[in-house]
Structure 1
């Protein structure tokens, strides 16, 4: 249910004004200093410059959350696999992000902290012994942490019959400082994908921020699990049929619109986590959500006319068919065998 955990640390440099509308002053100096410090990073980190990218590539990286801010200010230093990154171009001078698959805040926090320790030795942060790390917004001073998680909640989204009223009405409501929104980049992805973020308040520790997010994640996972149990109890046959039809569409369709692709990918992922199909690699299925976006199809198929959505439907289907092999293997997984059906062969 938890697709990924992210931990972000917002930092600003001591002797430069906070980010504003002036794009040619402090922003360029922040970038120069971060680029210079980044050359000492060990490993295969690479830089992504929003200014020099073609529009379709810029939208591609924006959709994946690798770039932030306006195109001519967006700049990132990224690790292989995009699990660690330094992003420029937002409200703060820089944001250090660590990402881990599933619900794993400790690992994600360590990745972000590793980047933080590395840069703090080479850059002068705006920090106060009394207030903590400084920010353009006073209430954000302190640890600068934003704890986040991406959740896949298809059963809760559609509202299974029999789900407690409190779960339907209050299941997606958090505290005032916890934001819950549809996961999106250039465009909305599957409506059952949600991003939850909890920003640290002044005077709050990193552990308290993470605990606040964890409490909401735990509640949503409980509601989603309850909704899935109800679906499997009351509508198992219909759900199993829809899941396998979706798998067939993705495996054999020659033309796929973005909307149809998203719908079918969501059904396949739901079927995999509910045990209705076997041998599915969830991470690869999740990648299909991003692959179905127009910007991804343009980048991977090298299409030039990205404004004509219909022209992308054929290469979109081909891209998904190819990527589906990594998710389910060369052979499509079949339905579970009926326990009452006669079996051939001998024991």
Structure 2
């Protein structure tokens, strides 16, 4: 399998399937691990980094030979690909910006269906992440736990009987687990309840981040909810903590959507129709405006205000209209103005023939 084969495909988290998928885009579990025989990356030499990368590459190769991993598993040395391909992988949520922007020996292992990726030499020696469409944390945990066990058959992790897994960042010490759920919450944003929800989450030690994780903005009304600490709780307890709060957030969003339908139906329908109209007819459009308008359209589709359009199509457009994806799809580098034109063309091509439903009487 080659990197370019991912360009036209849609990964696991874009399927638009799974429980509560109208609001929950994806469930992700990430594990941070380090090899016992090497220092943390902040103190590692270039030789250390290269040795870590080689050990883990050999491990992945053995797992493929043993038929424990898909033979089409993709192994990419991130330092060997250009900036456009690195940003493509960031937009795809297969690597972090930190791994893309780092220097020295570093790699990523990618499942052909994009259900998991393994980052090598990011903040820790190993970062495993598994993604499931919709609200499906248990399935994500089972998969990442299996992957972790497979790798640990061939390497020795840095582990303390008192502290648990040792990690570069103190907030990850213990289980090394980060449990996160990506939600689409446009109605809470429109009704101006989103800040109140965030403050409540912070009180119970849950972090709120944007589409691309730590330090990113909440584009398109997408928010990632995750645990902030890992020490002192088991993996199952941390998963349960996030799993217990997500249905509450889903209920808040549904209530806000019901309120908008009930109290502001014409205004909501106008918002969705205008957004859809701009996306279908624009000759040039920025990434930020596209995300904002697609958010309204996705909500409108889930509320029955738009016909003949599928959620996976909208989910794909959120990603495929990002700068690196557009350039990969176009087959050449584009400056900002050219990207805006190409983005509008791409949107018209994929949305042509669809239309909003007519307003209904309440």
CA shift for structure 1 position 215? 3.2
Q: Secondary structure at the match of 1:233?
A: helix
Q: Secondary structure at the match of 2:35?
A: coil
Distance in 1 of aligned mates of 2:265 and 2:170? 52
Corresponding position of 1:76: 108
The answer for unaligned runs of 5 or more in structure 2 is: 1-22
1:316 to 320, 324, 343: 343
Q: Secondary structure at the match of 2:41?
A: coil
The answer for unaligned runs of 5 or more in structure 1 is: 161-166, 341-347
The verdict on how the C-alpha distance between 1:293 and 1:169 changes in structure 2, with shifts beyond 3 A counting, is: closer
Corresponding position of 1:19: 41
CA shift for structure 1 position 84? 1.0
Distance in 2 of aligned mates of 1:334 and 1:169? 30
Corresponding position of 2:281: 252
CA shift for structure 1 position 245? 3.0
Corresponding position of 2:324: 295
Alpha-carbon RMSD across the aligned residues, in angstroms, is: 2.5
Worse-matched range after superposition: 279-288 or 5-14: 279-288
1:182 and 2:210 matched: yes
Where does 1:1-347 land on structure 2 (aligned, <5 Å)? 1-20=23-42, 22=44, 24-39=46-61, 40-41=63-64, 42-43=69-70, 44-68=72-96, 69=98, 70-73=101-104, 74-138=106-170, 140-159=172-191, 167-173=193-199, 174=201, 175=203, 177-184=205-212, 188=217, 190-306=219-335, 309-322=336-349, 324=350, 331-335=353-357
CA shift for structure 1 position 320? 2.6
Distance in 2 of aligned mates of 1:187 and 1:320? 24
Distance in 2 of aligned mates of 1:337 and 1:228? 16
Do the aligned residues in 2 keep the contact of 1:291 with 1:320 (CA within 8 Å)? Answer: no
Distance in 2 of aligned mates of 1:187 and 1:148? 15
Q: Deviations over 1:253-310 (max 9, x none)?
A: 332222321222111101012221234322331221222222222222133243xx11
The verdict on how the C-alpha distance between 1:320 and 1:71 changes in structure 2, with shifts beyond 3 A counting, is: farther
Do the aligned residues in 2 keep the contact of 1:232 with 1:239 (CA within 8 Å)? Answer: yes
The verdict on how the C-alpha distance between 1:208 and 1:244 changes in structure 2, with shifts beyond 3 A counting, is: same
Q: Secondary structure at the match of 1:150?
A: strand
Distance in 1 of aligned mates of 2:195 and 2:283? 40
Corresponding position of 2:8: none
Do the aligned residues in 2 keep the contact of 1:92 with 1:135 (CA within 8 Å)? Answer: yes
Q: Deviations over 1:112-147 (max 9, x none)?
A: 112111101111111233432222345533221110
The verdict on how the C-alpha distance between 1:244 and 1:81 changes in structure 2, with shifts beyond 3 A counting, is: farther
Structure with larger RCO (C-alpha < 8 A, sep 6+) = 2
Q: Secondary structure at the match of 2:219?
A: coil
Q: Normalised by the size of structure 1, how large is the TM-score?
A: 0.85
Distance in 2 of aligned mates of 1:135 and 1:263? 37
More helix by share: 2
Q: Normalised by the size of structure 2, how large is the TM-score?
A: 0.82
Q: How many pairs does the alignment contain?
A: 327
Structure (1 or 2) with the larger CA radius of gyration: 1
Corresponding position of 1:345: none
Do the aligned residues in 2 keep the contact of 1:180 with 1:197 (CA within 8 Å)? Answer: yes
Distance in 1 of aligned mates of 2:134 and 2:55? 33
